[in-house]
Amino acid sequence: MLNPQLYGIAVNWDDIPATDVRPGVRRKVYATDEVVLAWHELSVGMTLNPHHHDDFDQLVLILGGRCNYYVDGVANPMGTGSMLLVPRGAEHYVEPTEGPCINLDVFAPPRADFLAHAWRPGQG
């Protein structure tokens, strides 16, 4: 059943607290029953984190800065407004080249390990 408290509520990223994930990486997570949005502020020189996930695709949108976004070893130069679909199972990571690099990831279905950290309307 869908959560009716999530509908008809305007939300601003500035109202969602950020979490320091590791040096050079800050994250804000917003989730509905159908999708997770993960906002990342990435610093040039951050520790790179090659990984993959088998349960979902990942849509990447760069909102600011510049980066190389690697998918299966191929560098994809990206800047503000660039989008990239990472298929499930593909090894990927982001390397900021001009920062801060603001990266918005969209996960559908929702990424289960991010749900526990997701901000919901009504939270402080």
The span from the CA of 123 to the CA of 110, in Å, is 19
Nearest to 5 by CA among 94, 123, 96: 123
Q: Sign of the C-alpha dihedral, residues 106, 14, 67, 25? A: negative
Residue percentage of the chain with pLDDT more than 90: 70
DSSP 54: S
pLDDT band at 123 (very low <50, low <70, confident <90, very high): low
Tens digit of pLDDT for each residue in 22-55?
999 999 999 888 889 999 999 999 999 999 999 8
Residue 88, Cβ density class (10 Å: 0-12 exposed, 13-18 middle, ≥19 buried): exposed
Q: What are the angstrom distances between the C-alpha of 29 and each of 45, 55, 70, 76, 112?
A: 23, 18, 22, 24, 12
Q: Would you give the end-to-end CA distance of the chain in angstroms? A: 25
Partners of 85 in beta bridges: 59
110 pLDDT band, cuts 50/70/90, is confident
Q: What's the mean per-residue pLDDT of the chain? A: 91
